[in-house]
Amino acid sequence: MLTFLTIVYVICALLLTFYAIGITVLLIGYWLHRHENTPTPKISHWPIVAIQLPIYNERHVVERLLDAVAALDYPPDKLTVQVLDDSTDDTSSMIADRAALLRAKGLNIQHVQRDNRQGFKAGALAHGLTLLAESNPASEFVGVFDSDFVPPPDFLRKTIPYLVSDPTIGMVQTRWGHINPSDNALTFGQTMALDGHFVVEQTARCRSGLLMSFSGSGGVWRTQCITEAGGWSDLTLTEDLDLSYRAQLAGWHFLYLPDVVVPAELPPQITAYKQQQARWAKGNTQVLTFMLGPLWRAELPLRQRIMATLHLCQYLPQPLMMLMLLLTPPLMAAHALDSLPLGPLAIASLGQVLIVVVSQSTLYPNWGRRLLAFPVLLALGTGVAWNNTRAVLGALMGEGGEFRRTPKFAQTGRSNTYALHGDRATWMELLWAAYALAGAVVALNTYPSLAPYLLIYGAAFAIVALWSLRERW
Protein backbone atom coordinates (compact mmCIF):
# COMPACT_ATOMS: atom_id res chain seq x y z
CA MET A 1 0.00 0.00 0.00
CA LEU A 2 2.83 2.38 0.86
CA THR A 3 4.38 1.85 -2.55
CA PHE A 4 1.06 2.52 -4.25
CA LEU A 5 0.52 5.75 -2.30
CA THR A 6 4.04 6.87 -3.13
CA ILE A 7 3.45 6.22 -6.83
CA VAL A 8 0.21 8.23 -6.70
CA TYR A 9 2.06 11.06 -4.98
CA VAL A 10 4.78 11.08 -7.64
CA ILE A 11 2.23 11.02 -10.47
CA CYS A 12 0.45 14.01 -8.95
CA ALA A 13 3.76 15.85 -8.64
CA LEU A 14 4.68 15.08 -12.26
CA LEU A 15 1.31 16.25 -13.58
CA LEU A 16 1.54 19.46 -11.58
CA THR A 17 5.07 20.02 -12.87
CA PHE A 18 3.87 19.58 -16.45
CA TYR A 19 1.07 22.08 -15.87
CA ALA A 20 3.50 24.53 -14.25
CA ILE A 21 5.78 24.25 -17.28
CA GLY A 22 2.80 25.24 -19.43
CA ILE A 23 2.37 28.37 -17.30
CA THR A 24 6.04 29.16 -17.85
CA VAL A 25 5.58 28.75 -21.61
CA LEU A 26 2.82 31.38 -21.49
CA LEU A 27 5.08 33.69 -19.52
CA ILE A 28 7.83 33.32 -22.13
CA GLY A 29 5.30 33.84 -24.93
CA TYR A 30 4.13 37.05 -23.33
CA TRP A 31 7.67 38.32 -22.90
CA LEU A 32 8.55 37.63 -26.54
CA HIS A 33 5.42 39.30 -27.93
CA ARG A 34 4.67 41.96 -25.32
CA HIS A 35 5.36 44.89 -27.67
CA GLU A 36 3.36 43.60 -30.66
CA ASN A 37 0.51 46.10 -30.56
CA THR A 38 -1.69 46.23 -33.65
CA PRO A 39 -2.94 49.75 -34.49
CA THR A 40 -6.68 50.17 -34.90
CA PRO A 41 -7.53 49.67 -38.60
CA LYS A 42 -9.24 52.45 -40.53
CA ILE A 43 -12.63 51.49 -41.95
CA SER A 44 -14.91 53.25 -44.42
CA HIS A 45 -18.23 52.39 -42.78
CA TRP A 46 -19.67 51.42 -39.41
CA PRO A 47 -21.66 48.16 -39.54
CA ILE A 48 -24.86 47.32 -37.69
CA VAL A 49 -24.05 46.19 -34.16
CA ALA A 50 -26.12 44.78 -31.32
CA ILE A 51 -25.25 44.86 -27.64
CA GLN A 52 -26.64 42.00 -25.56
CA LEU A 53 -27.03 42.48 -21.81
CA PRO A 54 -28.01 39.24 -19.98
CA ILE A 55 -29.64 40.27 -16.69
CA TYR A 56 -30.95 38.30 -13.73
CA ASN A 57 -31.94 40.13 -10.53
CA GLU A 58 -29.41 42.98 -10.68
CA ARG A 59 -31.19 45.94 -9.11
CA HIS A 60 -27.98 47.50 -7.79
CA VAL A 61 -26.07 47.67 -11.06
CA VAL A 62 -28.48 47.45 -13.99
CA GLU A 63 -29.10 51.19 -14.32
CA ARG A 64 -25.35 51.86 -14.27
CA LEU A 65 -24.90 49.34 -17.09
CA LEU A 66 -27.74 50.76 -19.20
CA ASP A 67 -26.43 54.30 -18.84
CA ALA A 68 -22.93 53.19 -19.87
CA VAL A 69 -24.23 51.37 -22.95
CA ALA A 70 -26.39 54.38 -23.88
CA ALA A 71 -23.23 56.51 -23.79
CA LEU A 72 -21.39 54.37 -26.36
CA ASP A 73 -19.98 56.50 -29.17
CA TYR A 74 -21.55 54.81 -32.19
CA PRO A 75 -24.00 55.86 -34.92
CA PRO A 76 -27.43 55.49 -33.26
CA ASP A 77 -29.02 54.16 -36.44
CA LYS A 78 -26.46 51.32 -36.47
CA LEU A 79 -26.84 50.26 -32.82
CA THR A 80 -29.38 47.99 -31.12
CA VAL A 81 -29.34 47.24 -27.40
CA GLN A 82 -30.98 44.05 -26.16
CA VAL A 83 -31.66 43.76 -22.44
CA LEU A 84 -32.16 40.02 -21.96
CA ASP A 85 -34.06 40.15 -18.70
CA ASP A 86 -34.75 36.92 -16.81
CA SER A 87 -35.26 38.74 -13.49
CA THR A 88 -37.83 37.71 -10.91
CA ASP A 89 -37.64 40.82 -8.71
CA ASP A 90 -38.02 44.58 -9.14
CA THR A 91 -35.06 44.66 -11.54
CA SER A 92 -37.51 44.22 -14.42
CA SER A 93 -39.48 47.35 -13.55
CA MET A 94 -36.24 49.30 -13.18
CA ILE A 95 -35.16 48.14 -16.63
CA ALA A 96 -38.52 49.07 -18.14
CA ASP A 97 -38.38 52.57 -16.69
CA ARG A 98 -34.78 53.25 -17.69
CA ALA A 99 -35.28 51.72 -21.15
CA ALA A 100 -38.27 54.01 -21.76
CA LEU A 101 -36.18 57.02 -20.78
CA LEU A 102 -33.29 56.02 -23.02
CA ARG A 103 -35.63 55.15 -25.89
CA ALA A 104 -37.06 58.65 -25.70
CA LYS A 105 -33.52 59.96 -26.14
CA GLY A 106 -33.09 58.02 -29.37
CA LEU A 107 -31.52 54.73 -28.25
CA ASN A 108 -32.83 51.61 -30.00
CA ILE A 109 -33.25 49.48 -26.89
CA GLN A 110 -35.28 46.29 -26.57
CA HIS A 111 -36.45 44.88 -23.24
CA VAL A 112 -36.64 41.12 -23.86
CA GLN A 113 -38.25 38.86 -21.26
CA ARG A 114 -38.77 35.09 -21.28
CA ASP A 115 -41.28 32.92 -19.47
CA ASN A 116 -38.50 30.87 -17.86
CA ARG A 117 -34.72 30.75 -17.37
CA GLN A 118 -34.19 27.75 -19.63
CA GLY A 119 -30.52 27.56 -20.52
CA PHE A 120 -29.68 30.36 -18.06
CA LYS A 121 -27.28 32.90 -19.60
CA ALA A 122 -26.62 30.78 -22.69
CA GLY A 123 -30.35 30.40 -23.25
CA ALA A 124 -30.91 34.13 -22.94
CA LEU A 125 -28.13 34.94 -25.39
CA ALA A 126 -29.40 32.35 -27.88
CA HIS A 127 -32.95 33.69 -27.60
CA GLY A 128 -31.74 37.23 -28.19
CA LEU A 129 -29.70 36.13 -31.18
CA THR A 130 -32.79 34.52 -32.70
CA LEU A 131 -34.66 37.80 -32.37
CA LEU A 132 -31.77 39.70 -33.93
CA ALA A 133 -31.72 37.31 -36.89
CA GLU A 134 -35.37 38.14 -37.54
CA SER A 135 -34.70 41.88 -37.67
CA ASN A 136 -34.08 43.65 -40.94
CA PRO A 137 -31.28 44.34 -41.48
CA ALA A 138 -29.67 41.86 -39.11
CA SER A 139 -26.79 42.80 -36.83
CA GLU A 140 -23.43 41.71 -38.17
CA PHE A 141 -21.70 41.90 -34.79
CA VAL A 142 -22.81 41.36 -31.20
CA GLY A 143 -21.18 42.73 -28.07
CA VAL A 144 -21.85 41.07 -24.71
CA PHE A 145 -21.66 42.68 -21.27
CA ASP A 146 -22.58 41.20 -17.93
CA SER A 147 -24.45 43.42 -15.50
CA ASP A 148 -21.40 44.36 -13.43
CA PHE A 149 -19.48 45.86 -16.36
CA VAL A 150 -19.20 49.51 -17.38
CA PRO A 151 -18.05 49.74 -21.02
CA PRO A 152 -16.24 52.98 -21.91
CA PRO A 153 -17.79 55.23 -24.59
CA ASP A 154 -15.15 54.36 -27.21
CA PHE A 155 -15.47 50.59 -26.77
CA LEU A 156 -17.08 49.87 -30.15
CA ARG A 157 -14.85 52.29 -32.03
CA LYS A 158 -11.81 50.45 -30.67
CA THR A 159 -13.06 46.91 -31.37
CA ILE A 160 -15.35 46.89 -34.42
CA PRO A 161 -12.65 48.02 -36.92
CA TYR A 162 -10.68 44.80 -36.33
CA LEU A 163 -13.70 42.66 -37.15
CA VAL A 164 -14.60 44.71 -40.23
CA SER A 165 -11.06 44.70 -41.63
CA ASP A 166 -10.40 40.97 -41.14
CA PRO A 167 -13.25 38.57 -42.01
CA THR A 168 -11.41 35.64 -40.39
CA ILE A 169 -11.72 37.14 -36.90
CA GLY A 170 -14.73 35.69 -35.13
CA MET A 171 -14.39 37.41 -31.75
CA VAL A 172 -12.52 40.31 -30.16
CA GLN A 173 -11.92 40.19 -26.39
CA THR A 174 -10.86 43.14 -24.25
CA ARG A 175 -9.19 43.34 -20.85
CA TRP A 176 -11.21 43.45 -17.66
CA GLY A 177 -10.56 46.39 -15.37
CA HIS A 178 -11.73 46.77 -11.78
CA ILE A 179 -14.36 49.07 -10.30
CA ASN A 180 -13.87 48.19 -6.63
CA PRO A 181 -10.32 46.85 -6.14
CA SER A 182 -9.97 48.46 -2.71
CA ASP A 183 -13.31 47.32 -1.30
CA ASN A 184 -11.55 44.79 0.92
CA ALA A 185 -8.67 42.32 0.93
CA LEU A 186 -10.71 39.85 -1.12
CA THR A 187 -11.32 42.25 -4.00
CA PHE A 188 -7.69 43.37 -3.98
CA GLY A 189 -6.52 39.77 -4.17
CA GLN A 190 -8.86 39.14 -7.09
CA THR A 191 -7.38 42.07 -9.02
CA MET A 192 -3.96 40.43 -8.84
CA ALA A 193 -5.30 37.11 -10.12
CA LEU A 194 -7.33 38.67 -12.93
CA ASP A 195 -4.50 40.97 -13.95
CA GLY A 196 -2.23 37.96 -14.31
CA HIS A 197 -4.77 36.25 -16.55
CA PHE A 198 -5.63 39.22 -18.73
CA VAL A 199 -2.22 40.86 -18.98
CA VAL A 200 -0.02 37.80 -19.41
CA GLU A 201 -2.03 34.69 -20.24
CA GLN A 202 -4.56 36.11 -22.71
CA THR A 203 -1.90 38.21 -24.44
CA ALA A 204 0.45 35.24 -24.72
CA ARG A 205 -2.22 32.92 -26.10
CA CYS A 206 -3.38 35.41 -28.70
CA ARG A 207 0.00 36.64 -29.92
CA SER A 208 1.66 33.21 -29.81
CA GLY A 209 -0.99 31.71 -32.08
CA LEU A 210 -2.56 29.57 -29.35
CA LEU A 211 -6.24 28.93 -28.76
CA MET A 212 -7.79 31.47 -26.38
CA SER A 213 -11.26 32.11 -25.01
CA PHE A 214 -14.00 34.67 -24.83
CA SER A 215 -14.16 35.71 -21.17
CA GLY A 216 -17.95 35.87 -20.96
CA SER A 217 -18.15 39.66 -21.07
CA GLY A 218 -16.35 42.62 -22.59
CA GLY A 219 -16.10 41.10 -26.06
CA VAL A 220 -17.64 41.40 -29.52
CA TRP A 221 -18.66 38.43 -31.65
CA ARG A 222 -19.27 38.12 -35.37
CA THR A 223 -22.78 36.68 -35.56
CA GLN A 224 -21.74 34.44 -38.46
CA CYS A 225 -19.07 32.92 -36.22
CA ILE A 226 -21.59 32.14 -33.47
CA THR A 227 -23.98 30.56 -35.96
CA GLU A 228 -21.39 28.48 -37.81
CA ALA A 229 -19.94 27.21 -34.52
CA GLY A 230 -23.35 25.87 -33.47
CA GLY A 231 -24.62 28.76 -31.35
CA TRP A 232 -24.75 29.20 -27.60
CA SER A 233 -25.10 25.93 -25.67
CA ASP A 234 -26.35 25.40 -22.12
CA LEU A 235 -24.69 21.98 -21.77
CA THR A 236 -21.96 23.53 -19.62
CA LEU A 237 -21.83 26.29 -17.00
CA THR A 238 -19.16 28.13 -18.99
CA GLU A 239 -20.90 28.78 -22.28
CA ASP A 240 -18.18 31.30 -23.18
CA LEU A 241 -15.33 28.76 -23.14
CA ASP A 242 -17.48 26.13 -24.86
CA LEU A 243 -18.38 28.37 -27.81
CA SER A 244 -14.82 29.71 -27.98
CA TYR A 245 -13.36 26.27 -28.61
CA ARG A 246 -16.07 25.20 -31.02
CA ALA A 247 -15.53 28.40 -33.02
CA GLN A 248 -11.75 28.09 -33.17
CA LEU A 249 -11.91 24.42 -34.10
CA ALA A 250 -14.23 25.50 -36.92
CA GLY A 251 -11.46 27.72 -38.26
CA TRP A 252 -12.23 31.12 -36.77
CA HIS A 253 -9.50 33.31 -35.28
CA PHE A 254 -9.77 35.34 -32.08
CA LEU A 255 -8.13 38.64 -31.20
CA TYR A 256 -7.27 40.01 -27.77
CA LEU A 257 -6.86 43.75 -27.15
CA PRO A 258 -5.10 44.29 -23.80
CA ASP A 259 -5.13 48.07 -24.17
CA VAL A 260 -8.94 48.26 -24.36
CA VAL A 261 -10.19 48.05 -20.78
CA VAL A 262 -13.73 47.48 -19.52
CA PRO A 263 -14.11 47.98 -15.75
CA ALA A 264 -16.09 45.37 -13.83
CA GLU A 265 -17.20 44.86 -10.25
CA LEU A 266 -15.46 42.22 -8.15
CA PRO A 267 -17.45 40.10 -5.66
CA PRO A 268 -16.71 41.49 -2.17
CA GLN A 269 -18.11 38.42 -0.37
CA ILE A 270 -15.97 35.32 0.10
CA THR A 271 -19.08 33.15 -0.27
CA ALA A 272 -19.94 34.81 -3.59
CA TYR A 273 -16.34 34.43 -4.72
CA LYS A 274 -16.33 30.73 -3.87
CA GLN A 275 -19.62 30.26 -5.72
CA GLN A 276 -18.18 32.00 -8.77
CA GLN A 277 -15.00 29.93 -8.63
CA ALA A 278 -16.97 26.69 -8.29
CA ARG A 279 -19.08 27.59 -11.33
CA TRP A 280 -15.98 28.34 -13.37
CA ALA A 281 -14.25 25.16 -12.18
CA LYS A 282 -17.22 22.93 -12.97
CA GLY A 283 -17.96 24.62 -16.29
CA ASN A 284 -14.36 24.55 -17.42
CA THR A 285 -14.10 20.85 -16.61
CA GLN A 286 -17.38 20.17 -18.40
CA VAL A 287 -15.94 21.79 -21.52
CA LEU A 288 -12.85 19.60 -21.09
CA THR A 289 -14.97 16.45 -21.18
CA PHE A 290 -16.82 17.63 -24.30
CA MET A 291 -13.97 19.18 -26.28
CA LEU A 292 -10.85 17.14 -25.52
CA GLY A 293 -11.66 14.57 -28.20
CA PRO A 294 -12.53 17.08 -30.95
CA LEU A 295 -9.45 19.11 -30.01
CA TRP A 296 -7.07 16.20 -30.55
CA ARG A 297 -8.84 15.13 -33.74
CA ALA A 298 -8.52 18.62 -35.18
CA GLU A 299 -5.80 19.41 -37.70
CA LEU A 300 -3.90 21.75 -35.42
CA PRO A 301 -0.17 21.98 -34.68
CA LEU A 302 0.90 19.84 -31.75
CA ARG A 303 1.88 22.87 -29.65
CA GLN A 304 -1.62 24.31 -30.05
CA ARG A 305 -3.24 21.07 -28.95
CA ILE A 306 -0.94 20.67 -25.94
CA MET A 307 -1.41 24.24 -24.72
CA ALA A 308 -5.16 24.10 -25.37
CA THR A 309 -5.36 20.89 -23.33
CA LEU A 310 -3.58 22.60 -20.44
CA HIS A 311 -6.00 25.51 -20.81
CA LEU A 312 -8.99 23.20 -20.53
CA CYS A 313 -7.34 21.41 -17.60
CA GLN A 314 -6.67 24.60 -15.66
CA TYR A 315 -8.78 23.55 -12.66
CA LEU A 316 -7.49 19.96 -12.46
CA PRO A 317 -4.36 20.97 -10.51
CA GLN A 318 -6.50 21.73 -7.47
CA PRO A 319 -7.75 18.13 -7.00
CA LEU A 320 -4.16 17.00 -7.55
CA MET A 321 -2.93 19.40 -4.88
CA MET A 322 -5.62 18.23 -2.49
CA LEU A 323 -4.60 14.62 -3.06
CA MET A 324 -0.96 15.49 -2.40
CA LEU A 325 -1.95 17.32 0.76
CA LEU A 326 -3.90 14.27 1.90
CA LEU A 327 -0.97 11.94 1.25
CA THR A 328 1.84 14.11 2.62
CA PRO A 329 1.43 13.42 6.39
CA PRO A 330 1.17 9.59 6.14
CA LEU A 331 4.03 9.40 3.64
CA MET A 332 6.02 11.72 5.85
CA ALA A 333 5.38 9.51 8.87
CA ALA A 334 6.50 6.47 6.87
CA HIS A 335 9.67 8.29 5.71
CA ALA A 336 8.61 7.63 2.11
CA LEU A 337 9.42 11.17 0.94
CA ASP A 338 13.15 10.98 1.60
CA SER A 339 14.24 10.31 -1.97
CA LEU A 340 11.42 11.91 -3.96
CA PRO A 341 12.63 14.63 -6.40
CA LEU A 342 10.12 17.37 -5.55
CA GLY A 343 12.52 20.22 -6.37
CA PRO A 344 11.47 20.53 -10.04
CA LEU A 345 7.84 21.05 -8.99
CA ALA A 346 8.82 23.86 -6.65
CA ILE A 347 10.97 25.52 -9.31
CA ALA A 348 8.35 25.19 -12.06
CA SER A 349 5.70 26.65 -9.76
CA LEU A 350 7.58 29.94 -9.72
CA GLY A 351 6.08 30.67 -13.15
CA GLN A 352 2.72 31.43 -11.57
CA VAL A 353 4.37 33.85 -9.15
CA LEU A 354 6.23 35.55 -11.99
CA ILE A 355 2.98 36.04 -13.91
CA VAL A 356 1.67 38.06 -10.98
CA VAL A 357 4.89 40.06 -10.73
CA VAL A 358 4.96 40.80 -14.47
CA SER A 359 1.30 41.82 -14.66
CA GLN A 360 1.57 44.12 -11.65
CA SER A 361 4.77 45.75 -12.91
CA THR A 362 3.18 46.25 -16.33
CA LEU A 363 0.03 47.96 -15.06
CA TYR A 364 0.94 49.84 -11.90
CA PRO A 365 3.78 52.27 -11.06
CA ASN A 366 3.52 51.21 -7.40
CA TRP A 367 3.70 47.52 -8.27
CA GLY A 368 6.29 46.77 -5.60
CA ARG A 369 4.00 47.95 -2.84
CA ARG A 370 1.07 46.10 -4.37
CA LEU A 371 3.03 42.84 -4.27
CA LEU A 372 3.09 43.09 -0.50
CA ALA A 373 -0.50 41.82 -0.75
CA PHE A 374 0.61 38.63 -2.53
CA PRO A 375 -0.11 36.54 0.61
CA VAL A 376 -3.78 37.49 0.17
CA LEU A 377 -3.77 36.03 -3.34
CA LEU A 378 -1.93 32.95 -2.07
CA ALA A 379 -4.54 32.45 0.65
CA LEU A 380 -7.39 32.82 -1.84
CA GLY A 381 -5.91 30.53 -4.46
CA THR A 382 -5.05 27.87 -1.90
CA GLY A 383 -8.03 28.28 0.39
CA VAL A 384 -10.63 27.61 -2.32
CA ALA A 385 -8.92 24.39 -3.42
CA TRP A 386 -11.47 22.15 -1.68
CA ASN A 387 -14.36 24.28 -2.95
CA ASN A 388 -13.11 23.94 -6.53
CA THR A 389 -12.16 20.29 -6.15
CA ARG A 390 -15.77 19.43 -5.33
CA ALA A 391 -16.86 21.26 -8.48
CA VAL A 392 -14.28 19.55 -10.68
CA LEU A 393 -15.17 16.09 -9.38
CA GLY A 394 -18.84 16.83 -9.93
CA ALA A 395 -18.17 17.74 -13.54
CA LEU A 396 -16.08 14.61 -14.11
CA MET A 397 -18.97 12.53 -12.75
CA GLY A 398 -21.38 14.14 -15.18
CA GLU A 399 -23.19 16.52 -12.85
CA GLY A 400 -24.96 19.45 -14.47
CA GLY A 401 -25.77 22.30 -12.16
CA GLU A 402 -27.61 25.58 -12.04
CA PHE A 403 -26.02 28.79 -13.29
CA ARG A 404 -25.90 30.63 -9.97
CA ARG A 405 -25.26 34.31 -10.50
CA THR A 406 -22.61 36.17 -8.55
CA PRO A 407 -24.25 38.92 -6.45
CA LYS A 408 -23.35 42.50 -7.39
CA PHE A 409 -23.73 45.39 -4.98
CA ALA A 410 -22.39 48.51 -6.74
CA GLN A 411 -20.52 49.24 -3.50
CA THR A 412 -23.83 49.73 -1.68
CA GLY A 413 -22.87 47.31 1.09
CA ARG A 414 -23.78 43.67 1.60
CA SER A 415 -26.82 44.08 3.86
CA ASN A 416 -29.45 43.26 1.28
CA THR A 417 -31.40 40.37 -0.17
CA TYR A 418 -28.62 39.48 -2.64
CA ALA A 419 -26.05 38.78 0.08
CA LEU A 420 -24.99 35.16 0.54
CA HIS A 421 -24.56 33.65 3.99
CA GLY A 422 -22.04 30.84 4.07
CA ASP A 423 -21.80 27.57 2.15
CA ARG A 424 -21.51 23.85 2.76
CA ALA A 425 -17.80 23.69 1.98
CA THR A 426 -16.88 25.69 5.08
CA TRP A 427 -16.87 22.84 7.58
CA MET A 428 -14.68 20.66 5.39
CA GLU A 429 -12.33 23.60 4.94
CA LEU A 430 -11.96 23.77 8.72
CA LEU A 431 -11.14 20.05 8.80
CA TRP A 432 -8.58 20.49 6.04
CA ALA A 433 -7.06 23.40 7.98
CA ALA A 434 -6.73 21.26 11.10
CA TYR A 435 -5.27 18.37 9.10
CA ALA A 436 -2.67 20.56 7.38
CA LEU A 437 -1.69 22.37 10.57
CA ALA A 438 -1.30 19.08 12.45
CA GLY A 439 0.87 17.83 9.61
CA ALA A 440 2.97 21.00 9.85
CA VAL A 441 3.61 20.35 13.54
CA VAL A 442 4.80 16.83 12.75
CA ALA A 443 6.91 18.13 9.85
CA LEU A 444 8.78 20.53 12.12
CA ASN A 445 10.35 17.51 13.83
CA THR A 446 10.69 15.18 10.86
CA TYR A 447 10.68 17.06 7.53
CA PRO A 448 11.24 20.76 8.32
CA SER A 449 11.35 21.61 4.61
CA LEU A 450 7.70 20.54 4.26
CA ALA A 451 6.46 22.59 7.21
CA PRO A 452 5.98 25.84 5.23
CA TYR A 453 4.01 23.98 2.55
CA LEU A 454 1.64 22.52 5.16
CA LEU A 455 1.42 25.79 7.09
CA ILE A 456 0.36 27.65 3.93
CA TYR A 457 -2.46 25.19 3.32
CA GLY A 458 -3.53 25.19 6.94
CA ALA A 459 -3.57 28.98 7.18
CA ALA A 460 -5.30 29.40 3.80
CA PHE A 461 -8.11 26.96 4.61
CA ALA A 462 -8.56 28.53 8.03
CA ILE A 463 -8.75 32.06 6.60
CA VAL A 464 -11.30 31.15 3.93
CA ALA A 465 -13.40 29.07 6.33
CA LEU A 466 -13.44 31.69 9.09
CA TRP A 467 -14.25 34.42 6.60
CA SER A 468 -17.15 32.31 5.34
CA LEU A 469 -18.40 31.75 8.89
CA ARG A 470 -18.27 35.47 9.56
CA GLU A 471 -20.59 36.05 6.60
CA ARG A 472 -22.89 33.29 7.82
CA TRP A 473 -23.44 35.14 11.09
Locate the DSSP E strands across 208-270.
219-222, 253-264
Q: Any catalytic annotation for residue 240?
A: yes
Q: Any catalytic annotation for residue 86?
A: yes
Residue 260 near residue 155, CB atoms below 8 Å = yes
Q: Reading across the β-sheet that carries 49-55, which strands appear in turn?
A: 109-113, 79-85, 49-55, 141-144, 219-222, 169-178, 253-264
| Crossing angle of helices 239-249 and 302-312, rounded to 10° | 170
Neighbours of 108 (CB within 10 A): 15
Say how far apart CA 47 and CA 63 lie, in whole Å. Answer: 26
Say how far apart CA 110 and CA 81 lie, in whole Å. Answer: 6
Locate the DSSP E strands across 25-108.
49-55, 79-85
Q: Which of 85, 195, 240, 242 is catalytic?
A: 240
| One-character DSSP codes across 287-302 | HHHHHHHHHHHS---H
Phi, psi of 140 (to 5 degrees): -80, -30
Q: Please state the length of the chain.
A: 473
- CA nearest 128: which of 150, 139, 112? 112
Could you say which DSSP state residue 35 is in?
A: T
Vertex 419 angle, CA 466 and 280, to 5°: 75
Phi, psi of 204 (to 5 degrees): -65, -45
Residue 33 near residue 199, CB atoms below 8 Å = no
| Crossing angle of helices 451-472 and 385-396, rounded to 10° | 90
Sign of CA dihedral 262, 253, 229, 135: positive
Residue 148 near residue 216, CB atoms below 8 Å = no
Task: Please tell me whether the peptide bond between 153 and the residue prior to it is cis, using omega within 30 degrees of 0.
Answer: no
Say how far apart CA 5 and CA 22 lie, in whole Å. Answer: 26
Residue 119 gets the label, from left (phi > 0), alpha (psi -120 to 50) or beta, of: left
Q: Which of 86, 183, 195, 423 is catalytic?
A: 86
Catalytic positions, please?
A: 86, 240
